[in-house]
Amino acid sequence: MSGNTVTPQQTLPCSASRAARELGLKRSEFDLAVHLGRVRTVPDEGGGGSRVPRAELDRLLERPEELRRRVRTVGTREGAADMEVSPSRFTRLARLGLVVPVKFYLNRYRAVVWLYLADELRQFAADDTNAPLLKGRAPESMRAQVAAGVDLRPRNWRGRHLGFLLRQADDPWQRAGALAAFLDPLQVAELVEDPYERSHLNRFRPGPPAHGAPGSPAVHLVEKIMTADDPDEIGWLRSDLEGTLAEARAHQPAPRPTPTPAPRPAREPITTDQSRRPVRGLLSRLRRRSA
């Protein structure tokens, strides 16, 4: 047998865990790469999640360091050092939406730690038009917004995460579920009054990123971050959900239970007296004829 023979196993798509190992990535880094569209996946025909085509993995293995660079995330201090600004200035830029977090986690004190793509921060700092934001005194309008409590980090993360979910959706119901994931359940109930339709929609509604046991304070905090709270954001989410639901209904109506046929009315039992009446009548007619 030739040493260059390729076995079928070497051409089949591989699992996400194996692809992450071959690329030298943590599983969380690999998942982020998929979300960012850096890694192309295909559905697992056996229903075991997504898989990576062998050709795609070979392409990435040609320059694995580039992929690792593009999915590297940093927190506030490291991000500020990469951009050569103070942590307080970096936080101000993030709160005002000039740099957008890509993910977050809760530390042991249940404080939210936002993470950013190091590659995006590098590009922001290299753009000459952003120099006034990085050096010298910040514009008064920016300082006033921060003093007023403006913090766009949760909303910007939601917008980014919604983009991830929509790219992974294969049909209108999945897209509708992704939009519904960022609305309070009461908002969804107002738009989807039919209980069967709402139940079907909830099947495609992704939950928030796992950060603890169900019902724990940490999960409640994550759910709060996941739920839109700005009237403008709620408005466009509702509008998009209404349009996507109309498309989903036309594509495939929500399933409903099969109606149960009404039972046939029970026939009245024939009493002994009733069963004798026809016989008595026949005997009476025979007697009259013989007479």
Question: Number of C-alpha atoms within 13 angstroms, CB side, residue 16?
Answer: 19
- Quick one: which of 46, 38, 36 has its CA closest to 12? 46
- Give the model's pLDDT for residue 7: 47
Retrieve residue 34's tokens: 């998929």
- Give the model's pLDDT for residue 9: 52
- Rounded to an integer, the average pLDDT of 40-69 is 88
Residue 137: how many other CB atoms lie within 10 Å: 8
Direct distance between the N- and C-terminal alpha carbons of the chain, in angstroms, rounded to an integer: 113
How would residue 2 be classed by pLDDT, with cut points 50, 70 and 90?
very low
User: Is the confidence at residue 8, as pLDDT, over 50?
Assistant: no
Q: What are 126-151's pLDDT values in tens digits?
A: 999 999 999 888 888 888 998 899 99
Element spanning 241, H or E: helix 231-251
Q: How far apart are CA 266 and CA 197, in angstroms?
A: 36
DSSP string, 98-136: SS---EEEE-TT--EEEEEEHHHHHHHHH-GGGHHHHSS
Query: Cα-Cα-Cα-Cα dihedral of 13, 14, 15, 18, to 10°?
Result: -160
Q: How far apart are CA 39 and CA 30, in angstroms?
A: 8
- Quick one: which of 107, 95, 103 has its CA closest to 152? 95
Q: What are 228-283's pLDDT values in tens digits?
A: 999 999 999 999 999 999 999 999 999 988 776 767 776 666 555 555 555 556 55
- Give the model's pLDDT for residue 68: 94
* Cβ 105 vs Cβ 211: under 8 Å: yes
Q: What are 157-198's pLDDT values in tens digits?
A: 999 999 999 998 989 999 999 999 999 999 999 999 999 999
- Give the model's pLDDT for residue 142: 85
- Give the model's pLDDT for residue 283: 55
Where are the strands (E) in 24-168, listed by range?
A: 42-43, 50-52, 73-74, 103-106, 112-117
Residue whose token pair is 């600004």? 85
More reliable by pLDDT, 8 or 45: 45
Give percent of the chain with pLDDT exceeding 90: 67
pTM of the model: 0.81
